[in-house]
Amino acid sequence: MNNSNPFDARFLEQGSGIGRTLGGVITFGGGVALYAGGKVIGGLGVSGDSACADHIVAYRMRKLAGLGGVPAGQGPGNADNIACSTGASPMGFERPHCFPTDTRALPVAHSR
């Protein structure tokens, strides 16, 4: 997860705010890009469990569909597998707060 929700009530016009957009983006794990021929051809999102579990289910579905030909991921060997933090403070692209059942039997990382 990231901290990308920039909502700040000081920037809302005076008044109730009803019917107005307050701004901000909130992201959650659970989505992966779909690749064919080294190019993004779409995306796949899953929701309904923890963000980690949702992401892992989407990752597995992409693998089964054969749409995981990632040209360059953020992980070792240009992979884009999910890196779950084992410590209290995640580093880089590691996902924090995954439950042990979320990460059981992760698929082998896709790479070129």
Confidence band, pLDDT 50/70/90 cuts, at residue 34: very high
Q: Are 81 and 111 in contact (CB under 8 A)?
A: no
pTM confidence score: 0.60
Cα Rg of the chain (Å, integer): 17
Looking at residue 50, what is its pLDDT? 78
